[in-house]
Amino acid sequence: MEMIESIKPLLAVLISVVVVVPLIIISRRPNTREAWTFVAAVGKFILVASMLPVILDGSEITCTVASVLPGLDIAFRVDAFGMLFALVSSSLWIVTSVYSIGYMRGLDEHSQARYFSFFALSLSATIGVAFSANLLTLYLFYEMLSFATYPLVTHHQDIEARRSGRKYLLYIVGSSIALVLPAMIITWQLTGTLTFSPAGILGGQASPAVVTMLLFFFLYGFAKAGLMPFHSWLPAAMVAPTPVSALLHAVAVVKVGVFCILRVLTGVFGIKLLADLNLGTVVAVLASITIITSSLIAMSQDGLKRRLAFSTISQLSYIILGAAILSPKSMTGGMVHIAMHAFGKITLFFCAGAIFVATGKKYISEMAGIGKQMPITMTAFFIGALSVIGLPPCGGIISKWNIAVGTLETHQAGFLVVLLVSSILNAAYFLPIVYKAFFCGPEETLFPDKIKEAPLWCVVPLVVTAVLSILMFIFPQPFLTLAKLSVGTLFINP
């Protein structure tokens, strides 16, 4: 495999850091401020996309920033898996920026310059994680993301927001310091390196007991993945503005959590070590428990954003489950689900925010008949729900299908049952919302007066992401191609 040295990964990380300065300077000129946000978002996407042909050609791009110790660097390496995640996050930053304008202006939110500044920093950290060449670099950007998103979670600055913010930091920063940091130090002492390798770096370096301990430290230390019982920060974070919720649940935070877990499973432990010690099965069981339990909890939630939050917890564990089954198909499905879930779930959050902007409603029990008043928004909601459930004509079926085939490849039918049951539960907590929105009788509707769709800045992004969810079923490339390339390197070097 050819390694190409380039400064592009560093530039892709820095562009959204640099834009923070003009965002602060011109904070009193919203049009100019938002224009700078678009410049940075489009620039980041162009930089990321410009590296795609090299990765699809089977090469990798590297960039060393600084040396901490001999053999321990802050460095970037763009491979197929990192490119997949970076494409998702950089493309969705553009539509989320558009949506943020409609939402923040529609509700006349305060501190909008601060909001856009920390949003930019969050995307910088996300790309940093995606392109990390080793565990040290990944950890630094993981923590940067935690602190960059805290002001977004606590944006409203009321008692509930501050309480939720403390919980947010306690879980995601406390767990990473208490678990990931010592696990990283132990790994360094055992192996002498933290650089990710397709074959893993822990094989033959530690006893099964130590390897198992490190596995649990990493699984629960990366609490952004929402693996139960380290999940309750996620519903609490729903006090944030809806664009932030979309960022947390579809673009950056939670996806960074599962990306880190997959990167550690494949690049630190390696497939062979996980299979030899049956640790893949252990991880798959933990993910399955989270999938079913969070789906059941989601059914009981009346708050639309809280239902979406518990749905996210469930969907994240699909990604972990796909990796833990340790088959080429399931791992491909898990990686692709990062993209498929992102486009479907961000559509759902955009719809929730549009409903709140237009009507002030945030509880499902208050939304009977809303589809007749806001048909564009609720049609997009239906499409997003289909994608998350895993039904055609949306892309979610591609990732779930691959995971299901992987369970059959490895003769683990129990996990196939988990997939089928959870998909039924997905339908049970999403489709009744759509049915009551469009098909309730006149006596049941809660919207007797005519209401309008949300502002165009809110509606256009949710239409775009809904259309993309369908297009990803028809044209799943390049995400599917990147996932297959990434998995191919793992099974060539087991």
String of DSSP letters for 216-230: HHHHHH-GGG--TTT
Please choose, from the candidates 465, 423, 471, 466, the residue with its C-alpha nearest in 3D space to the C-alpha of residue 96: 465
377, 462 in Cβ contact below 8 A?
Answer: yes
Confidence of residue 239 (pLDDT cuts 50, 70, 90): confident
Does the residue 144 lie in any domain?
A: no
Confidence tier at 22 by pLDDT (50, 70, 90): confident
- Residue 249 Cα distances to 232, 237, 255, 316, 385, angstroms: 13, 10, 7, 9, 15
Q: What is the pLDDT of residues 405-427, one digit of tens each?
A: 999 999 999 999 999 999 999 99
Q: Would residue 366 count as lying in a domain?
A: yes
Evaluate if residue 493 carries a pLDDT over 60: no
Q: Considering the domain boundaries, does residue 127 fall inside one? A: no
Q: Quick one: how many helices (H) and strands (E) in the chain?
A: 23, 3
- With respect to residue 246, please indicate whether it lies within any of the assigned structural domains: no
Side chain identity at 108, as an amino acid letter? D
Average pLDDT on 240-265 reads 83
In the sheet where 72-78 sits, what is the strand order?
A: 3-5, 60-69, 72-78
> What is the structure's pLDDT at 450?
77
pLDDT band at 76; cut points 50, 70, 90: very high
Cα–Cα dist 44/122, whole Å: 13
Domain count, the chain: 1
- Long-range pairs for 292-295: beta carbons < 8 A, 24 or more residues apart: 292/418, 292/421, 292/422, 292/425, 293/228, 294/226, 294/228, 294/231, 295/422, 295/425, 295/426, 295/429
Name every residue whose Cβ is closer than 8 Å to that of residue 451 and which is 6 or more positions away in sequence. 358, 359, 373, 374
CA distance 362 to 355: 8
According to the model, what pLDDT value does residue 88 have?
93
Place of tokens 């049952």: 417
- For position 69, what pLDDT does the model report? 81
Residue 186, CA atoms < 13 Å, CB-side half-sphere:
19
For residue 454, the model assigns a pLDDT of: 85
Helix (H, G, I), strand (E, B) or coil at 166: helix
Contacts of 395 (CB under 8 A, 6+ apart): 339, 340, 343, 344, 387, 469, 470, 471, 472, 473, 476
Cis amide linkage into residue 243, ω under 30° from 0: no
Residue 483 has pLDDT above 90, yes or no: yes
Q: Is residue 91 part of a domain?
A: no
Q: Could you tell me the pLDDT band of residue 452, with boundaries at 50, 70 and 90?
A: confident
Kindly state whether residue 288 falls inside one of the protein's structural domains.
yes
pLDDT of 158 above 90: no
Strands (E), 366-443: none
**What are the distances in angstroms from CA 389 to CA 249, 300, 385, 396, 424?**
16, 17, 6, 7, 8
Length of the chain (residues): 494
Looking at every residue in the chain, the average pLDDT score rounds to 89
Mean pLDDT score, 52-81: 92
Query: Does residue 393 have a cis bond before it (omega within 30 degrees)?
Result: yes
Q: What is the mean pLDDT of residues 27-49?
A: 85
- Domain residue limits at 422: 278-494
Question: Residues of the chain with pLDDT > 90: what percent?
Answer: 62
Closest CA to 480 of 296, 347, 338, 268: 338
Is 24 part of any domain? no
pLDDT in tens, 92-137: 888 888 888 777 666 666 667 778 888 889 899 999 999 999 999 9
Q: Could you tell me which residue, 469 or 38, shows the higher pLDDT? A: 469
Q: Alpha helices, DSSP H only, in 131-180?
A: 135-153, 159-175
Residue 105 inside a domain? The answer is no
Q: What is the pLDDT of residue 36?
A: 83
Query: How large is the average pLDDT for residues 239-259?
Result: 78
Residue 123's contacts (CB-CB under 8 Å, 6 or more residues apart) are 16, 41, 44, 89, 90, 93, 251, 252
Nearest of 333, 321, 295, 257 to residue 427 by alpha carbon: 295
For residue 215, pLDDT over 60 is answered with yes
Give the least confident one: 59-68, 153-162, 324-333, 343-352: 153-162
Q: Which carries the bigger pLDDT value, residue 31 or residue 361? A: 361
Distance CA 19, CA 122 (A): 12
Is residue 342's pLDDT more than 70?
Answer: yes
Largest Cα separation within the chain, whole Å, is: 73
